[in-house]
Each structure stands twice: as C-alpha cells, then as structure tokens.
Amino acid sequence: MLNKKRFLITTSDEATWKLDCPIIFLAEWCCKYDRKQLWESLDYVIAEPYGLNVSQQDLDRDEILVLEKKLFPFFCELINQYHNTNYSIKFWKIVLGHWFRLTLTQLLFRTKVIKQCLQNHNISGCISYSYDRYKITPVFTEEIIDDRLFEPWRENILNTKILNLLDETNFPIEYIQFNNNDKCNQNLDRKNISDKNKTILSLIKLYKNLSKKFVKNTDALIINTYLPLLEEIKLELSLGQIPQLWKYKDKISSYSQIKNLKTDNDERDKLTKDFESESNNYFEKIVTKLLFQLLPKIYLEGLEELTKIVNNQPWPTSPKFIFTSNEFFDNDIFKLWSAFKTEEGTKYFIGQHGNNYGTKRNTAPRIEEIIPYKFITWGWTSQSSRFVPGFIFKNEKKKYKFNPKGGLLLIETCYTKHNSTFDERYQYLKYLDDQIKFVSCLTNDQRNKLTIRLMPEYLITRWAVRKRWFDFDPKLNIENGTANISKLISQNRLVIHSYDSTGMLETLSRNIPTISFWLNCYDHILDEAKPFYKLLVDVGIVHFSSESAAEKINEVWDNIDDWWNRSDVQKARKLYCAQYAKTSNNPISELKEILLS
C-alpha cells in the first residue's frame, strides 16, 4: 500500500471532488479530457486499471456465469411471487436475462476496481451524493445498460453503495445534497433530422397506418432483422404477408404512464431481504443486496402497465414465428411480447447481431444465443443444434464500388456501454491515443486524403473525441457519422477499420480493400477463431499495432489492386468470410427455409 493518504474521487462529477488535498482518481475515466485544465494542476494519481490480464478475465467471467446460474432461478421465483404469476425461467430469461447478466458484470467490475484501489492505496475519504435506497433505480432497461444514460451522478451513488458494503472501507464518506436542477438526463435522440428524412419518415408512418390493417393473426413478426430494407420486404412477401416495417416504432420511454412510475420501497425491501445471501462470498452478498435496487421499474411496479401496452401492439396474435436480430436486448415492449408468445409455443428466431459472435472470448453463451428456438449465425457453426449457419444479413446484391485512386477512410468506434468485467473505458482511452498515433505515422499525402469517420453516438458521449482530434491536427477531415457509408467507400481506395468490427466483415465480404488494426493482439479472440484471424494477419489485412497498419498502407498505397488481388490475399479473405461473413446468392429462399423449419 502506498503511504500517502489521498482523497478518493470515483467519477467525473466535479461536485464530488475535493481540490485542496492529495487525491486519487478511481480510474482514468474520472478525468474528462475537456476539463484537464482543472485536474492536471492537482496533486493526483490514478488508480491501476482492473482486469486487463486475460487469465483474470477468464476467472471473472466464470464467476459471473456461476453466480447467474445460482441466483437467477430464485430471482425469477421472487418476481413471480410478487406478480402472482408462474412464468417459466425461459420467460424471464427473455425479459430480464440481458439486464441480469449485464448488471452482475457491472457490479463485479465496480466492486473489484474499488476493492483493488482500497487495498493498494491509503484513502482519507470521499464525497457522495446523499441518497435513498432507490434513487438510482432505473425505469427502463436501457438506463442501466447504456453508458450514455448512466451518468456520473448515478455512478457516484452506486460506487458509494458498494463502498458501504466493503470491509476495506475504513474512511469517512461526506454526503452532499443532490440538486436535480443541475443534473439532467442525456438525450439519446439528439440527431438533427433533415427535411428529406422527415419526408421519408412521414411516408413510412403513412404506410404503417395503412399496412397494419392487413395484418393477419398468423403472420410472422419480422422486426429489425439487420437485413437491408428491400430484402426484409422481400422476405415478408415470400411468406405471403404484407410487409409491415415494424422496425419503425415508438420507444417505451415515450409512454408517460411508464415514465412516472413510483418505486414501491416497502416491497423492494421485502424482496431484497428474501433474496439476500448467507454466502461467505463478499461479491454474492453485494449482488443480493443491490439487485432489487437496480431492477427497472418497468418489470416490477410497471409490469401491469407494460402488459397493457404490449397487448395494444398491432402485432399478430398467433404468429407463425418471431424473427429479429436487434430487438432482443433493450426493447422492453418487444421482449415481454416475445416472452408471452414463446410461452404459448411460438418459435423465436434470433439472428446474429454484428461481429464477435463465434469469435470473441468471454462472451459465449450470450443470452440471445440461449433464449431462441434457433440462433442464425453469419456462417459459423456450433456443436449445439440451436445454432444454424446462415449468411451476413447486411449483404446486398449490388456491387460496392471503390476508387483505386481515391483517399483513405478511417472508421472509428465509440464507447457507449460497459459490458465486460475489465476496464473497457481505460482501454477505450488507450484506443483513442492509438488512433492519433496511427494518423501520425501516415505520409503527408495519405493524411491529406484521409477521412476520419466517427460513430454518430460520439456527439452524446463524454469522451470529447472531436476535440482530441483537432487538438492533434485542426486540418483533419472529420466526418460526423451522418454521411452515407456506401458513398464514402466509393470515394476511397482503402478502408481502415480501427477495431474488430462489423464493418470489417461487411467490407471483406464485399471484396473492398480493407485493413484493420487493434491493440492486444489475439487476447479477445477465442482459440478456435484464431487460425482464421491469422490468415488475415499473414497477408497484411489485420495488424496488431497502428505502426504496422501504417507501414502496410505505405507499402500498397500507390497500387492497391496489385496487393488486394493477390491470390494469397483473396484466398485468406474468402476462407475467413466463409466462416464469419458468408454471402448468399439466394438470401431470401435460404432464410425462409430456416425460418419455416
């Protein structure tokens, strides 16, 4: 333990900081980039990041799965008792499975990063907002799932709850009043909508109002499948039903009767008392004390209202099947409706949602891989019969163009949710530093022809991404994530994916010249997937450092075609895509056969 006493700061909320003494930040994400003029002048240190070692990640992941298996059935039993229902474990897994696992994961990470800090440093005290037990109880699932909604003041309170449950907390906590007027929820829908898009949305709304009059009770519910819109329409037509475009829907947060739900403190206290564990495992005790404080109101106090909303949806009453690739995660209306229908015997299909399925370490089995009748992959197979190999849903028949004499397109990611047992936010900050290092390695000609495409979500996150780029080079061409990606690709000779992304699968499957790079080599990749990635590494498509990626660009820049069309490069691309980004010449007939099986 370091001897110098330091005041603990657990979030970036400066109202909870103390500036007149030595301080320790719980993690680097407490220090906002656009506020460094404040914190850089302080006597501070930053606690060590937690869980970056792969073996520790394996241990933590196992702990999560063991605890989930132990606690989830009893948790469901208590929820059933509260509602006087008898729904199955699978029913509640569809409804609450993602929230339950993600909450366990977040609590484990927060608990262990705090515990590590207390064990390694001499803490003099900290500041917390005063709170009642249910101050941070979310209304909707997305409030605790989405990092953009789980604001620093909420983090501060949750971290304090954990501190108060740890034996290592032997310092005073000063409580200050919480001012609601100073804390406003972030808005996830801040994008400006163009006149053209407003017109399109109006036409879609008009079509929806007309088409829903033709819904048959036995129609399949096909919603947000990841298929291109035209292909989704073709799929519905092939099934003999009028296309419904269900993907264009209202959010549950728009319902005022849900937003204003009051917390039933007494009942939650009783549920917590019943749920509390007598285990000697300190983390299990923390989980059982906090889980009912973090359960969204929509599933306790608001389930009756949510059921009414679900029953008023214009969806088929006896669907032949359900198929989605996106709505299973945080769409509270869809999840409850799907759970009801699954209980009645409807087959539930879930399609692969982007990359990292079948390749990413410490994620399987995901909840969406457990709950459906069948899980449709983008090509890979599993020993379980539940997994059905399909194709990359975003595959389109039209040929994507690129300009062999064009520029360089760098596609960025954005941190929006914490769903790992290790410090992903620390890694994201290192990622941002690495992006700047990559651009600094480019030639002047390449940098002048460079377009950096940000994810649209960067506007509503706390990472000051655009400012970081312009502090490095104010002349850079930054695209805010609103331009059509196909058009951007057509203007460039080479697409650079700066992380292991869905975009990489899309450009590789479409035979677009592609280079990808990321830190930590194969650490995030399953052993069985590594040989396929090695194929891409060996031919210079995938790199494990920004310098290596830049060197490859310098090597092939003047004649991309010669490199990209080499037999070894094309062979590696095809073998990798056959496994993880398979294309289909007859996507609708292939998908229809799976869905009607």
pLDDT at 141 over 90: no
| Chain segment 572-588, per-residue pLDDT in tens | 999 999 999 999 999 99
Q: What is the pLDDT of residue 459?
A: 73
| Chain segment 229-262, per-residue pLDDT in tens | 899 999 999 999 999 988 655 667 667 778 788 9
Question: Is 500 within 8 Å of 351 (Cβ atoms)?
Answer: no
Read off the pLDDT of each residue in 196-211 and give the average, rounded to a whole number: 78
Q: Hey, what are 318's tokens?
A: 């006896």
* Band (191; pLDDT cuts 50, 70, 90): very low
Question: Is 46 within 8 Å of 116 (Cβ atoms)?
Answer: no
Choice among 70-74, 344-348, 439-443, 454-458 with the minimum mean pLDDT: 454-458
Percent of the chain, pLDDT > 90? 79
Question: Is 17 within 8 Å of 127 (Cβ atoms)?
Answer: yes
Choice among 3-17, 94-108, 136-150, 437-451 with the minimum mean pLDDT: 136-150
* Residue 161 CA to its chain's centroid (Å): 25
Question: Is 496 within 8 Å of 549 (Cβ atoms)?
Answer: yes
Q: What is the pLDDT of residue 320?
A: 97
pLDDT at 136 over 60: yes
Predicted model pTM: 0.94
| Chain segment 418-434, per-residue pLDDT in tens | 789 999 999 999 999 99
pLDDT at 146 over 90: no
Helix/strand/coil (H/E/C) assignment for every residue in 487-530: HHHHCEEEEEECCCCHHHHHHHHCCCCEEEECCCCCCCECHHHH
The DSSP H or E segment spanning 100 is helix 89-120
pLDDT at 198 over 90: no
pLDDT at 188 over 60: no
pLDDT at 448 over 50: yes
Q: What is the pLDDT of residue 182?
A: 47
pLDDT at 44 over 70: yes
Report the C-alpha gap between 155 and 167 in whole angstroms: 20
